[in-house]
Structure 1
């Protein structure tokens, strides 16, 4: 907890380092300024479950959505199965997120079901790194399966600086057919349209009840610049996420969110309440401590 509030980080990467392209490691080392992310790793480059658990506990994060990714052209192949030792160490904190790539997996629904059977609480698609159109009808059976399973779909929306990225696929407009055809599925715009499409992402969040934004990779102090007059209207549909390890630190970002002037209900929704709705399979229990929040405010 931070400031007496449950905290959920909906966007975390903790892969085995041997599965990554060099640009990923450069990115992580460049942006993790307030904490030593490598302290959670063994000498062989594998994450150490107890150390990673302790790191997020110290940072005040109660629930962590762990991402996998099959993007050999950009960041590497980060297999879903590599997440399982972390989840087994502390299933109350760590929740794995499925990932599929239509260039690599067939049949797509079968691979999604396999990962869900192993504990996945959501599906992440990365059209920008994997190089595919998220509106392709080949993916519609996947969206239908997500509707059946009651899991959300997380899209990378916006640009990426990794070599090999296909940034044209980050346009939120490409996801509109799926959003309209599957209104029972919650769709989360990871990175909130970062770069060229903040306005488009903000519009869709307001227009579509099943669209949300996760704040991964977005410095909280810059949200007013990114979203302008739309920020007060879309704040209630934002989810806290860091893009760890490429972030100063979860606690630093939560503290920065607290300085934006959101009312208590909105702030509590952003850091945990919305995640409890969007990720029902994670079993997120919301807890608050009035005394802790008062002590934090008085500091």
Structure 2
């Protein structure tokens, strides 16, 4: 089973970023543009057909409440895509302590809509992931067995606060919520690969999402580690649409020379375990 565990199907009317900034330099603009209707909303059937063609069995769709940087991508915008193919697609919830109060009530609301995980985006939301205001949300997730994803590393988008993406900030959360499963999105991208890697190897309930990282560069990014050992903690994701193609990234991960069992875990098995995907 192939799982793309990091996908952003944004609604254009509520996207703060300009089109070119959001897509970056890697995306196939014509392919992405063809997924949208005249109202600037993803057409679910087209979206489903794309991920089927790219060889993806499951995909996690991210909403985001970051008016400072990306705008509001409400969880309700994801529901029609899931309804078109509930086998392929799942939703990831999102809360921002500057917008949501109480945060645990909002987490419950989004989980009840079918979300399989919670993401916090401290870099775009300008808050620390160990802010005590988020603790009720983490408590709710720990009680339900729901994993928490947090953005690590900087973001190139205007208005982002890179210092909030230091993965070591999650050490407080892991201490205070020892049964909580945590995923470090982007694996510590930028200046924190080593920190994120050591944290992941030290804790059985901590994982590294490699979304947005060119697969061929992963051995260099994690050069301080045995590649097979650190790869056993990776979860494949693309950060779509900012990639040249999902299938191309799947092939590139396959070209790293990982043992078959590790490769299977990276491309789907780890995500299936962490996010409880059938």
Give the TM-score category using the shorter length.
over 0.9
Matched position secondary structure for 1:22: coil
Give yes or no for contact 2:228–2:262 (8 Å, CA) kept in 1.
no
Give yes or no for contact 1:157–1:191 (8 Å, CA) kept in 2.
yes
What is aligned with 1:116?
A: 111
Is 2:263 the partner of 1:279? Answer: no
What is aligned with 2:97?
A: 102
What is aligned with 1:13?
A: 8
User: 1:35–1:186: structure 2 CA closer, same or farther, 3 Å change rule?
Assistant: farther
> How many residues were matched structurally?
277
User: 1:34–1:259: structure 2 CA closer, same or farther, 3 Å change rule?
Assistant: farther
User: 1:250–1:108: structure 2 CA closer, same or farther, 3 Å change rule?
Assistant: same
What's the CA shift for 1:31?
1.8
CA–CA separation in structure 1 for the residues paired with 2:184 and 2:245: 21
Deviations 1:32-53 (A, max 9, x none): 1497112111122100000000
What is aligned with 1:240?
A: 236
What's the CA shift for 1:29?
5.3
Deviations 1:53-100 (A, max 9, x none): 000000000001000000011111111111111111111011011000
What is aligned with 1:256?
A: 252
Question: Deviating runs (4+, > 6 A) in structure 1?
Answer: none
Matched position secondary structure for 1:30: coil
TM normalised by structure 2 equals 0.97
Give yes or no for contact 2:21–2:157 (8 Å, CA) kept in 1.
no
| RMSD of aligned alpha carbons | 1.3
CA–CA separation in structure 2 for the residues paired with 1:173 and 1:106: 26
Matched position secondary structure for 2:107: helix
* Superposition map of 1:121-200 within 5 A: 121-200=116-195
Deviations 1:173-194 (A, max 9, x none): 1110111222221100100111
User: 1:214–1:24: structure 2 CA closer, same or farther, 3 Å change rule?
Assistant: farther
